[in-house]
Amino acid sequence: MDEKYFAAKIEDKWQMKWLESGAFEVEMDSDKPKFYQLEMLPYPSGNLHMGHVRNYSIGDALAWYKRLKGFNVLHPIGWDSFGQPAEEAAIKRGVNPRDWTEENIKHMRGQLQRLGLSYDWRREMFAHRPDYYKFDQWFFLKMYEMGLAYKKLSQVNWCPNEKATLSNEQASGGICWRCGAAVERKDLEQWFFRTTNYADQLLDDMAEIEAGWAEKVLKRQRDWIGRSEGAFVDFAVKDSDEKIRVFTTRIDTIYGANAIVVAAEHPIIEANYANFSYETKAVIEKIKADKLKVTDHEAEIEKEGVDTGLKAVNLFSGEELPVWAANYVLIEYGTGAVMSVPAHDERDYEFARKYDLPIKVVIEPHGKAHEISNDNKLAHDEMIDSAFSDYGVVVNSDLWNGKTTEDAKREMAEYAERHGFGEAATTYRLRDWGVSRQRFWGAPIPIIYCEKCGVVPEKYENLPIELPEKAEFTGTGESPLAKVESFVNTTCPKCNEPAKRETDTMDTFVDSCWYYFRYTDPKNSEMPFDPKIAAYWTPVDQYIGGDDHAVMHLIYTRFWTKAMRDMELIGFSEPVKRLLTQGMVIGETFFDEIPNPDEPEGKGKRVYFPPSSVSVERDAKGKIISAKSAEGTTLKSAVERMSKSKGNGVDPDEMVEIYGADAARLFVLFAAPAENELVWNESGIEGAVRFLQRVWRFVWKWKSKIQSPKSEVQNEEFSSDARKLRQKTHQTIKRVTENFESLQFNTPVAALMELSNALYDFKVDSETASETDLYAIREAVESLILMLAPFAPHTAEELYAQIVGNENGMLANGARFPEYREELARADEIEIPVQVNGKLRSRILAAPDTANDELEIMALADAKIQEYTNGKEIAKVIVVPKRLVNIVVKG
């Protein structure tokens, strides 16, 4: 190796050594504490992007840190290799999705390896290979047995032109992304997993992981599950035996109900449809038709409804209420019917205003009783501009008057239950997870339809149900699988008569629900994994990924874990102890905005130009003054998520080529805290290279002198400068260790830079350095190198080899992360700021353990302080040990 730092040379060398020696290959070993470090697995799109580099650099740093701390670290990687893009490639370019996927994996694996990430490659998993998806199918059958998988009619996005189902993304904006036809909704029989069975557990078990998950993720999950506590209440339909059941969270406001409002699809509407007037029918049909239109996050929809003429009786008050059908009541939520209480619900208020319905106040704010009129028929004009939806005191409600909202809610629900027209109830926003996809590139659902036996699950011994080698990809019509005769036609596992296979495949989120259990036992052909092995490695100690997965993936995998617990495969309920959600990597984009003729008011269509093709003029602060394309068009700019289509992506290979993997990784971690967005700016990366080179040069200069250090020396023998260096070394160890434990990666890099600067400041000639000086240098250098390993492992390995004199590598040599020693980190003398009335006026030097009253005397004796205290009364002196002295004077 060279005196000069050549990244490529050492990186190739150590990557080879690691691979040959199996440095990161681990086995279950109950004598050692384990640590499971996991990062979200990539989709093999073809190229790694900087977001991946960031994600995997963070994970690799932690994996190295934990290894050096003596843990048996499982750090695997795999491929989320089922999914739409492969099928798209097949449709567009006629390639086989399997070949396309395998090619991409090959390329991306190379990219990961060039970054020198410390994976146990023997455990690599591939979602699209039969040995993996066999167990997707295995789990499906288990779920089916447990009643957790079932089939029901549900709506999909449907392109009437291509006769194909579309994902929400493909249907974005209400038009088919390929042909532009207006997207419709269509009912289809689909498979579901009963995630709602676990709704309460998904919420309540959050208590177990609260400490390790960001609040923003937990909050989004809470919202997604959307538990709301309330009550069902039945309203009797007049002149019939029927009832309308509503769900309400505010049963205490029931005396304020002015109407029952139901969704257009509600059974009561169907049942009485024939009796409705022509006008009523027209409104109902319009509401239904509007619902079929796919609206894409459009602004608030105007409330619309119609009085059906039906009457319902409020069994609390005996009052008769009109039954309306309206567009703001959702059939999917609650019971599809609500009681409308305009005085105390914003939506009902709006609706009542529009249709001139009576508004009756039944809740008054606490402490404001009687300020609002007792008039039962309070006119809307008196409700100034909105409903009062807070809790308060019940009024105008017979025997419930004077009760608080809290008491009334509980007691009224009990009352309804006692009288047989209601009960306390809980509803959820969470729906069951629809897993059917009308696509080829996914795990086939192992179900068979037999004319005689009906729906029959495939036998376990027939798994995997493999995808056919060939299929036709047109992007139109049914799923490609449906057209492969050899796949569709089979025999019934029950009666052996000819039967047909299910041609839907599973949602790819199924694969990512349990892949990290597979890593623990990747070659198992009988079971998804051996419960005994999984028990050693799981749960995951640290999971890292983008917060775009805060809900879907992370809820589904929590659901799956609970289901696996109930299958007795594992013995815990929460799969991930600590979760780190890293911020996006974003970059400057340049685009021309072309007005959209369909939406003249809305945003135009953006046509992106790659930054390299744009000539940019900046002011002194680096702000963009103007940007022009090669043709001279003036362009707009923004800072957005990096992507190929926007042309602002950075190729990791290029970064590695120019600066080296170590510098690229170090920089990505140093540039910003992990949770922050990272605005990509290449100018900083050279600083990372410089830092590595600085460390390299220092080690090269001293390595022969410090190769065989003296055994432990008494601290008193060191020169004062050497003692200071040792202090810096141990303070740095403390800081870096604490930073790793709290998942900070930018600050420890700064600390290491400071230590390296301290080494350069330690002015000792290499020829005349004393034994103790050399000891201090060796201590600092060795610590620096070991602490550098998580950020720049190749450089650290090479430098470590230089000072220990062998090339076995840190791990094989049993190297450990340096231990912080309190007594060495302590300075002989520290500077203590002295304030007068909170303003910094002077500094005194004192031993760190100086007593408070002594510090006070020293501070008061300070010449500069006396200038401020002279002739004034000293009211108080505050001494914070080791921190500061503040003298409060009067006058």
Partner RNA sequence: GCCGGAGUGGCGAAAUUGGUAUACGCACCAGACUCAAAAUCUGGCGGGCUUUACGCCCAUGACGGUUCGAGUCCGUCCUCCGGCACCA
Residues from 343 through 362 that contact RNA (CB under 7 A): 345, 347
Taking the least distance from each CB to RNA, the nearer of 37 and 842 is 842
Q: Are 25 and 811 in contact (CB under 8 A)?
A: no
Q: In this chain, which of 424, 533, 658, 679 binds RNA, going by CB under 7 A?
A: 679
175 lies in the site for RNA, by CB under 7 A: no
Report the residue number, 331 or 764, with the smaller CB distance to RNA: 331
Q: Closest CB to RNA among 10 and 753? A: 753
Which CB sits closer to RNA, 386 or 486? 386
Residue 822 phi/psi, 5-degree rounding, is -50, -50
Closest to 505 in 3D by CA, of 467, 560, 464: 467
| 880 binds RNA per the rule CB under 7 A | yes
Is 691 one of the binding residues for RNA (CB under 7 A)? yes
- Considering only residues 482 to 541 of the shown chain, the ones binding RNA according to CB under 7 A are none
Beta strands in 823-872 (DSSP E): 830-836, 839-846
- Asked whether 670 and 750 are in contact (CB, 8 A), the reply is yes
Q: How far is the CB of 539 from RNA (least distance, A)?
A: 25
Site for RNA in 120-159 (CB under 7 A): none
- Report in angstroms how near the CB of residue 492 gets to RNA at its nearest: 40
List binders of RNA among 655-674 (CB under 7 A): 670-673
Q: Which position among 84, 170, 404, 693 is part of the footprint of RNA (CB under 7 A)?
A: 693
DSSP state of 180: -
- Say whether residue 683 binds RNA (CB under 7 A): yes
Task: Please compute Rg for the chain using Cα positions.
Answer: 35
In the bound state with RNA, the residue whose beta carbon lies nearer, of 92 and 883, is: 883
495/874 with CB nearer RNA: 874
The structure tokens listed for 532 are: 């005994």
- The nearest distance, CB 668 to RNA, in angstroms, is 10
Q: Which is nearer to RNA, 622 or 891 (CB)?
A: 622
Exactly one of 485, 621, 625, 849 binds RNA (CB under 7 A); that residue is 621
Residues between 855 and 874 that touch RNA (CB under 7 A) = 864
Tokens of 527: 């079971």
- Residue 728 is inside which H or E element, if any? helix 720-741
Instruction: Report if residue 418 touches RNA, rule: CB under 7 A.
Output: no
- The yes or no reply on residue 603 touching RNA (CB under 7 A) is no
Binders in 725-744 for RNA, by CB under 7 A: 744
Instruction: At 134, list the tokens.
Output: 């066999």
Region binding RNA by CB under 7 A among candidate stretches 87-95, 149-157, 527-535, 749-757: 749-757
- Whose tokens are 């999984």? That residue is 534
Tokens at 526, concatenated: 């009988």
Q: Which stretch binds RNA (CB under 7 A): 50-58, 224-232, 479-487, 512-520?
A: 224-232
The least CB distance from residue 184 to RNA, in Å, is: 19
Return the residues of window 325-344 that contact RNA according to CB under 7 A. Answer: 327-336, 338-339
Euclidean distance between CA atoms 753 and 738, whole angstroms: 16
Cβ 7 to RNA shortest distance, Å: 14
Asked whether position 840 contacts RNA by CB under 7 A, the answer is yes
When the beta carbons of 20 and 169 are compared against RNA, the nearer one is 169
Interface stretch with RNA, choices 120-128, 213-221, 373-381, 433-441 (CB under 7 A): 213-221
Distance of CA 395 to the CA centre of its chain: 46
x-marked contacts with RNA along 288-327 as a string, rule CB under 7 A: ---------x-xxxxx-----------------------x
Q: How far is the CB of 460 from RNA (least distance, A)?
A: 38
Residue identified by tokens 């809470």 is 222
Find the binding residues for RNA in span 232-261 (CB under 7 A): 247-250
Q: In this complex, which beta carbon is closest to RNA, that of residue 771 or of residue 854?
A: 854
Q: Which of 798, 138, 815 is nearest to 461 (CA)?
A: 138
Q: Rank residues 323 and 749 by Cβ distance to RNA and give the closer one.
A: 749
Give yes or no for residue 890 binding RNA (CB under 7 A): no
Q: Which amino acid would we find at residue 216?
A: K
**Bridge-partner residues for 155, per DSSP?**
187
Nearer to RNA, 104 or 253 (CB): 253
Q: Which is nearer to RNA, 93 or 297 (CB)?
A: 297
677 scored as a contact of RNA (CB under 7 A): yes
Instruction: Closer to RNA by CB, 76 or 334: give it.
Output: 334
Is position 838 an interface residue for RNA (rule: CB under 7 A)? Answer: yes
Q: Residue 765: CB partners within 8 Å, gap ≥ 6?
A: none
Q: Can you tell me the distance from the alpha carbon of 72 to that of 339, in angstroms, rounded to the nearest whole number?
A: 59
Applying CB under 7 A, among 369, 532, 760, 766 the residue interacting with RNA is 760
469 or 822: whose CB is closer to RNA?
822
Q: Of the candidates 101, 140, 133, 115, which has an alpha carbon nearest to the alpha carbon of residue 39? A: 115
Q: Which of 84, 747, 808, 869 binds RNA (CB under 7 A)?
A: 747
Cβ closer to RNA: 421 or 670? Answer: 670
Q: At closest approach, how far in Å is the CB of 434 from RNA?
A: 15
Residues 791-830 touching RNA, rule: CB under 7 A, are: 830
Does the protein bind RNA through residue 553 (CB under 7 A)?
Answer: no
> Residue 470 CB, nearest distance to RNA (Å)?
38
What is the number of other CB atoms lying within 10 angstroms of the CB of residue 219?
12
Distance CA 399, CA 370 (A): 17
Sites for RNA among residues 42-81 (CB under 7 A): none
Phi, psi of 337 (to 5 degrees): -145, 145
Kindly report the length of the chain: 891
Residue-by-residue DSSP string for 371-399: SS---TT--GGGS-SS---S--EE-SSGG
- The verdict on 220 binding RNA (CB under 7 A) reads yes
Buried b / exposed e along 554-571 (16+ C-beta atoms within 10 A) = bbbbbbbbbbbbebebbe
Rounded to a whole number of angstroms, the minimum distance from the CB of residue 428 to RNA is 8
Contact between 219 and RNA per CB under 7 A: yes
Closest to RNA by CB, 497 vs 741, is 741
Residue 282, SS3? Answer: helix
Is residue 429 at the binding interface for RNA, with CB under 7 A as the rule? yes
211 sits in the region (left: phi over 0; alpha: psi -120 to 50; else beta) called: alpha
Nearer to RNA, 129 or 353 (CB): 353
Quote the least distance from Cβ 646 to RNA, whole Å: 14
Among 110, 595, 610, 684, binds RNA (CB under 7 A): 684
Q: DSSP of 405-458, one letter per residue?
A: HHHHHHHHHHHHHHTTSEEEEEE-S---EE-EES-SSSPBP-EEEETTTEEEEP
Measured from the CB of residue 391, what is the shortest distance to RNA in angstroms? 13
d(CA 735, CA 757): 16
The residues near 481 (Cβ < 8 Å, ≥ 6 apart) are 440, 444, 467, 468, 471, 487, 488, 503, 505
Could you say which of 113, 427, 719, 808 contacts RNA (CB under 7 A)? 427
Beta bridge partners of 363: 394
Contact between 588 and 639 (Cβ < 8 Å): yes
Cβ neighbours of 582 (radius 10 Å) = 26
Out of 168, 376, 596, 676, name the contact with RNA by CB under 7 A: 676
Q: CA-CA distance, 348 to 28, in Å (whole number)?
A: 61
Residues whose CB falls within 8 Å of the CB of residue 548, separated by 6 or more in sequence, listed in order: none
Binding status of residue 609 toward RNA by CB under 7 A: no
What are the structure tokens assigned to 143, written together? 């779920």
# binding residues, RNA (CB under 7 A): 83
The CA distance from 391 to 368, in Å, is 12
* CA–CA separation, 663 and 656 (whole Å): 8
For residue 437, how many other CB atoms are within 10 A of its CB? Answer: 26
